[in-house]
Structure 1
Amino acid sequence: MKIEDRQDLLPPLWADDGMSAKAASFLELPEYRIMKCFRGWRVHRGKERSPKLPTKELCRAFIDRNARRAMLRQVSLVDPGSWMPIWAAPRNGWAVLACMREDITEYAQDPRLAEWAGQQLVIRHAKGAMPESDIWDMAAPTGSDGIPGDWFTGWRPLAVAMPPRETDVVGSVDRGGNCSEVEWISPCLHEQAEHGRTGDAT
């Protein structure tokens, strides 16, 4: 499955002009900017820049893919005790990893939940629930459904994606040929690549 097909990874938030985008605010990643260069376009993020791309559309595809990959990479490196807020979890049927509150028995006022305290569970947004609802089901036929979102500390994407069961997910159309494999050019490599090209303005 291609990274851009993973709908459990949050897409970037685009500015109205379509020339800049930000990852979800709680990820604290630099802003992406699409900038014109000689005979093409580049994506800039902080001190990083993409190879030259022929169209703005390919730059947007690059940003979409890179933001999802950056999210997956960042959540795998953060403090194990850190979780993304449950309100930001996808409500499209894709499964995520969630962590139950440590104080769940006191919070829910139910001593039967003691064994669930601090447990990590694979959950999906409740089937048939309104998108804005905060109700979750276990991603397995356990009978543990209709779990309130405020019972969870937070969530993370799974290392291996679990798409909705009802959806037959197939590979997406390659949006730009080899663009699907393009990565950042480091500043030093960029300088080497541009050395002697006086007409190629950045």
Structure 2
Amino acid sequence: MKLSSEIRKWSRLIHRDLSFFFSGMVLIYAISGIVMNHRDTINPNFSIERKKYKITEKLPDKARMSKDRVLTLLQPLGEENNYTKHYFPKTELMKVFLKGGSNLQVNVQTGEAVYESVTRRPLIGAMSRLHYNPGKWWTYFADIFAVGLIIITLSGIIMLKGNKGIIGRGGIELVAGVLIPILFLLFF
């Protein structure tokens, strides 16, 4: 009896301390995991905004479109210093590439233009990069985190006794928590 109460005491201490220590990691993985689950509606790394507008002045055709003329088209957008190159995928359509991934597409015949601004998402993007594992140093910490989660789980399982512990409600919750992922693996 003394041994089991001593084990539960140490289990609570370990569970509490590791939970506090790894709470930041749990939040990072949880938040980035939610965003990554919805990649079809939100890009976790970049914010992309599209702006359509019409250029009213006459534009030169493919043969006479110069870099200087393209730079004047970029001035109202504040992107003239971010020009990298331009080309014509179709005779009437010019695409301008900008530093950082932004771009401008212009129909030189109709003047219709689409500016696509690409900017990094500072917080969610950084969390997603950590979730994808950015390098060797992170692998070590992520492995320590994974071992910590195993210890937190095992200490949580043995921490309580009686009808709230593994023999009672805790055991039912444990079985349900194990069965749900297994059912998804088998049937979906």
Report if TM-score (shorter chain) is over 0.5: no
TM-score between the two structures when normalised by the length of structure 1: 0.31
More helix by share: 2
TM-score between the two structures when normalised by the length of structure 2: 0.33
Question: Who wins on radius of gyration, i.e. which is larger?
Answer: 2
